[in-house]
Amino acid sequence: MSYFLLDDYANMEPYLPGEQPEGKWIKLNANESALPPSPAVLKILNEAEYEGMGFYSDPHCHKLRQAIGEVYGFDEKNVFVGNGADEVLAFCMMSFFRKGMKIAFPDITYDFYRTYATTYNLDFTQFPLNDDFTINVDDYVDYDGDVILANPNNPTGIAISVSEIERIVKKNPERMVIIDEAYVDYGNESCIPLVRKYDNLLVVQTFSKSRNMAGARIGFAIANEDMITDMNKIKFAFNPFNMSSLAIEAGAAAARDVDYWQKCIHQVCDVRDAFEKDLKKLGFDVINTTTNFTFITHPHFSATYLFKELKKRHILVRHYDTPRINNYLRITIGSFDVMLKVLYAIKEIVGEGYESPDQ
């Protein structure tokens, strides 16, 4: 720590990014996509962008905000964009949350909420998930502060319905509700349409999952115009030209190629369903996820053991050393071929003996 670091950050908990090993691995620990982005992105990369790189990107990011707005039926004034959903969330926090303000989120959810809340000294409450890992919506309806929820939740992969979210939003118009829909496209309903009815709802999405563009760092929020204007003002005071021309152009092209990313989603869901079916045959309890990952546990093999055995075989999955979920593994759905390899490895580890009797 330098002499100059503010003591405001005394409570900060270090953020641990997922393991990024060197060398050849099957990397299924960060819910990334093995599929390429829309071919329209390749065209952008190969063409106009190099020659004009000496000129600043558009600080308003009009082209990207327009493209996203069109896809969801909103004006660009309702769309904020940033370098990944994390930056969008950070600008939201920076605009609307100060030290001591109350915010609630589940005990088991995306780590970043807790990282942000401790670093910036928010007064946060973590409501425990139910025993089946579902969210107890009433906890949030009755809470006297703001709310942030990942829907579907991560790492459980379980979603709540839009009408349940509406109960939380509707109860108190002075409560801000942030819904992080990073995984919404894999078979869930988005609550973006609720933004038309409620001025206290901000919905965050990302290009890192269904658009196969985690490396390009693109995220967005849709909310009422005043909130988006506030966030843009804060962005303009913090880093006006936050997004590169490449991210703006490639993001706009990818957003508009809806057919392509819908096709990719179907592909991932098909592989996931087949993989989960096979896991069940091997005796795994599989949480009913609607995401690009699966969340599993086995009655006879500890998650720690399975994690280590997979790692020996150069397959990296996610294991959380956290109460209640430390016997679960989160496995990203890769390509059909990759998941066959993973299944083969798991069979080797748990043995064919766990094939269920009806097979």
User: Which residues, numbered 215-234, are part of the site for its own copies (CB under 8 A)?
Assistant: 215-217, 224, 226-227, 229-230, 233-234
Distance CA 337, CA 323 (A): 33
Distance CA 69, CA 64 (A): 8
Nearer to its own copies, 280 or 314 (CB): 314
Determine if 58 is a binding residue for its own copies (CB under 8 A): yes
Beta-carbon count within 10 A of 240 CB: 12
Determine if 34 is a binding residue for its own copies (CB under 8 A): yes
Site size for its own copies, by CB under 8 A? 82
- Contact between residue 223 and residue 194 where contact means Cβ atoms under 8 Å apart: no
Q: Are strands 219-222 and 123-127 parallel, antiparallel or unpaired?
A: unpaired
Determine if 351 is a binding residue for its own copies (CB under 8 A): no
Determine if 23 is a binding residue for its own copies (CB under 8 A): no
The DSSP output letter for 133 is S
* Residues between 189 and 218 that touch its own copies (CB under 8 A): 199-200, 208, 212-217
Determine if 4 is a binding residue for its own copies (CB under 8 A): yes
Instruction: Read off the tokens for 49.
Output: 């962008």
Nearer to its own copies, 83 or 297 (CB): 83
What's the order of all strands across the beta sheet hosting 329-332? 285-286, 293-297, 329-332, 318-319
Determine if 78 is a binding residue for its own copies (CB under 8 A): no
* Residues between 117 and 176 that touch its own copies (CB under 8 A): 119-120, 174, 176
Determine if 51 is a binding residue for its own copies (CB under 8 A): yes
Query: In angstroms, what is the minimal distance from the CB of 246 to its own copies?
Result: 6
Identified binder of its own copies from the candidate list 24, 100, 132, 237, rule CB under 8 A: 237
Determine if 46 is a binding residue for its own copies (CB under 8 A): yes
Identified binder of its own copies from the candidate list 14, 299, 323, 357, rule CB under 8 A: 14
Three-state SS string over 141-177 comes to HHCCCEEEEECCCCCCCCCCCHHHHHHHHHHCCCCCE
CB-facing half-sphere around the CA of 245: CA atoms within 13 A:
13
Query: In angstroms, what is the minimal distance from the CB of 263 to its own copies?
Result: 14
Cα–chain-centroid distance for residue 87? 12
Cα 281 to Cα 183, 200, 327, distances in angstroms: 26, 45, 19
* Residues between 274 and 333 that touch its own copies (CB under 8 A): none
Identified binder of its own copies from the candidate list 24, 50, 299, 359, rule CB under 8 A: 50
* Residues between 242 and 281 that touch its own copies (CB under 8 A): 242-247
Nearer to its own copies, 17 or 353 (CB): 17
Which phi-psi region, left, alpha or beta, contains residue 217 (left: φ > 0; alpha: ψ -120 to 50)?
left
Query: In angstroms, what is the minimal distance from the CB of 89 to its own copies?
Result: 8
